[in-house]
Structure 1
Amino acid sequence: MIKHSLNVEAQSYGCWFVVNRGRIWLNKAGQVPVGEYRELTLSAEPEQVCLLGQDNDVNAYLLINHDQITDDEHWVSPRELLSAGESIFELAARAVQVALFLQTHRFCGQCGSAMNLVNWELAMLCNKCGHRCYPRIAPCVLVGIFHNDKILLARSSRHRPGFYSILAGFVESAETLEQAAVREVKEEVGIDITNLRYVGSQPWPFPHSLMTGFIADYAGGDIVCQPQEIEEAGWYSLKELPQVPPIETLSGQIIAQIQQMTGK
């Protein structure tokens, strides 16, 4: 459970996630700082301190201050911490998402009054009208599709040139994950899929997504890219893939699993 508005002493020891506008501060060694609070040499006291959890039995804290500046500034997105290990990445993603939640729920969306942190759960409460808000989580489906020793990869307008991935899309209201997977594939590339099976999930700070992964078989249809979403898509040999997401991501794990299933 996340605890809010903690008072940290100068000698308090922990792993410190300093968040500023969705980015995380790293020390001169390019790491999330671990040590006593006073060693951070922050130029201003943080607006809020939250206990996020633990990493190797060390308390992990979120420090929020949008005016935070340090002598050895080095700010990164949580995605850049994928190679730092699963625990650090998950805490970094959590820190950014919690910071965004607290920033965007300072006032009640129902009556406009100031919101207050609930002291026993991660929620914001309006004491005037009783409106309570929880962090938003946006489920998203990832679908790896293969056919005849080939995998379907696509490149959206958000991807850099030469980088491809499996298909992805957000789940809509009153829709199951499976329905979303079938719909997104049809909308984005015009083909039908079958034999859908679940692979796993991964929290993703985009900025508050929960990625859910599936593998599916091709069932029919020709590739027709959806305008404004997919710039190009095609079938790629599992032996000769273009640049794809790293294995630390759920997309990369799905691609690797398809390669193992087909012996490629």
Structure 2
Amino acid sequence: MSRKGKVSHMKNAYWCVVAGSDIWLVESAIPFGSAEQFSLPEASARQIGDYQNAPVMWVNLSDLDHDLPLTSLRDCLHFPESLFLLISKAIQYGHMAQSLRFCPQCGGRNFLNNNQLAMQCGECRTLHYPRIFPCIIVAVRKGCQILLAQHPRHRNGMYTVIAGFLEVGETLEECVAREVHEETGVHVKNIRYFGSQPWAFPSSMMMAFLADYDSGVLTPDYRELSDAQWFRAEDIPPVAPKGTIARALIDQTLQDMKD
């Protein structure tokens, strides 16, 4: 599989300087220009894609000799999807560089392999690619109602759909059914794929589904949730923001409820 890598003697590019799940913005946009213009270390930059016929470069903040103000990836949700996904990619590569500094095979020191954009052990030469954590996210419909939940981490009363991590030996559909039942006590049926979204917090892949209520009494697991309720379209509380696949699921379900 071919991968992007280092670009020599470039002129103008989009610069994704990242740390954790945060990125450097200039006037609320990804900075575009030369490495020299922004005092960035071109030797440490790696190309991860193209946007509007210009290279998109990934640089870790830790490679700079000065600090920069950073913004959460969540504040970039309104960017064009293709750009948002490239920013997400930069953040996930940054996470790879920080979390795979040592080889899980032999404990040797890892180094960035420029040809593969992976970490490679200096001892056993094993390549370690970015870790991706598979998650499901699902909107459950019951007639003219949608199941929405609130998590303790959510601010301003925001509700969203049910989500959770895939377990070993589990199909995506089994994960959907299990997560919904564990968190709400509800059983679902007619589970169907909707779409996906990379979610770099720090390195998840959200796989989205729609499902229908089958049976059970709504009984929120308050170890996981602050609240869970069935909502009609006219009573929808504040929900996940535009640009998230959670919001796309909610909007689709609300549309389906009108049909």
- TM-score w.r.t. length of structure 1: 0.90
Residue identity matched to 1:64: N
Q: Does 1:192 align with 2:190?
A: no
Deviation at 1:263, TM superposition (A): 1.2
Deviation at 1:2, TM superposition (A): 4.0
Q: Does 1:246 align with 2:241?
A: yes
State the partner residue of 1:145. Answer: 140
Name which of 102, 109, 125 aligns with 1:107. 102
Rounded to whole Å, the distance in 2 between the matches of 1:236 and 1:120 is 50
Q: Does 1:128 align with 2:123?
A: yes
Name which of 27, 50, 53 aligns with 1:54. 50
CA RMSD in angstroms, aligned pairs only: 2.0
Name which of 74, 78, 82 aligns with 1:83. 78
Taking the TM superposition and a 5 Å limit, the aligned residue runs for 1:35-74 are 35-42=33-40, 45=41, 48-66=44-62, 68=64, 73-74=68-69
Deviation at 1:172, TM superposition (A): 0.5
Deviation at 1:116, TM superposition (A): 2.8
Deviation at 1:67, TM superposition (A): 6.5
Rounded to whole Å, the distance in 2 between the matches of 1:243 and 1:69 is 42
CA deviation map 1:125-152 (0-9, x unaligned): 2242243311111111111011121100
Rounded to whole Å, the distance in 2 between the matches of 1:214 and 1:245 is 16
State the partner residue of 2:251. Answer: 256
Q: State percent identity of aligned pairs.
A: 36
CA deviation map 1:177-218 (0-9, x unaligned): 100000000000011001111100111112111111111111
Please say if residues 164 and 242 of structure 1, whose CA atoms lie closer than 8 Å, have aligned partners that are also in contact: yes
Residue identity matched to 2:73: P
Residue identity matched to 1:91: L
Residue identity matched to 2:93: V
Residue identity matched to 2:190: N
Rounded to whole Å, the distance in 2 between the matches of 1:198 and 1:92 is 25
Deviation at 1:248, TM superposition (A): 1.3
Residue identity matched to 1:15: Y
Distance 1:164 1:69, change over 3 A: farther
Distance 1:194 1:112, change over 3 A: same
Distance 1:57 1:47, change over 3 A: closer
State the partner residue of 1:118. Answer: 113
Rounded to whole Å, the distance in 2 between the matches of 1:136 and 1:67 is 21
Deviation at 1:119, TM superposition (A): 3.8
Higher mean C-alpha displacement, 112-121 vs 15-24: 112-121
State the partner residue of 2:203. Answer: 208
Distance 1:22 1:187, change over 3 A: same
Residue identity matched to 2:167: E
State the partner residue of 2:30. Answer: 32
